[in-house]
Amino acid sequence: MGKFVKLDPKVKFYYTLHPSPTIVLVTKCPNGRFNAMPASWNTPVSEEPPTVAVIIDKETYTFQCLEYHNEATINVPHIGQADIVYALGSTSGRDVDKITKFNIKLEPSETISVPRWSEAIASLEGRVYAKLDVGEVRLYVFEILAVYVKEGLYTQWGWDLTKTSILLHGAGRTFYGVGRMIRAQKVQ
């Protein structure tokens, strides 16, 4: 495996943590439209209450939308949606109605006023529970009010990776799917 080499933590240190699951956050904005933005900086936080954290740069339009309206859907794309996810992340909703431009199909949520992306393989309905500013970003913790998954793709243990793959973001235009499954052996 070789020895460790030191990297400068100020030069994209976070690539050591990628690829990472990508979500598409749908928000309601001050102009009355809905917006969709991919985010690969996200993680479950707690089971009780059920929460997910998503990190948003304060310069983005999505940041303005979340400050305007504290609900969002967290939508999980599959590997076949890499092109549209990249397009959504490369276009600002400040200037363009991304929902219309990229023909994003939305459907009503059950518990919040922000719709979900109907073509995602999962959608979590959330309301902002807490916020934390760190440098140039704000970490939003969403309390998850409802979760929906596409029928036949999910089991009690998570995604059935023989039928689908969540989209993982590497860097820039590079995305990955989930590779083969392995089971860890008990180490004594």
How far apart CA 162 and CA 45 sit, in angstroms, is 27
Residue 16's pLDDT is: 86
Torsion of CA 165, 15, 94, 68, to 10 degrees: 80
Mean pLDDT per 10-residue interval, the chain, length 188 residues: 88 87 98 97 98 99 98 98 97 96 99 99 99 98 99 94 94 89 79
* Environment class of 114 (CB within 10 Å of its CB; exposed 0-12, middle 13-18, buried 19+): buried
Residue 141's pLDDT is: 99
Domain ranges of the chain: 19-176
Assign domain 19-176 to its CATH architecture: Roll (2.30)
Residue 128's pLDDT is: 99
Residue 152's pLDDT is: 97
How far apart CA 113 and CA 58 sit, in angstroms, is 23
Is the CB of residue 89 less than 8 Å from the CB of residue 36? no
160 φ, ψ (degrees, to nearest 5): -85, 95
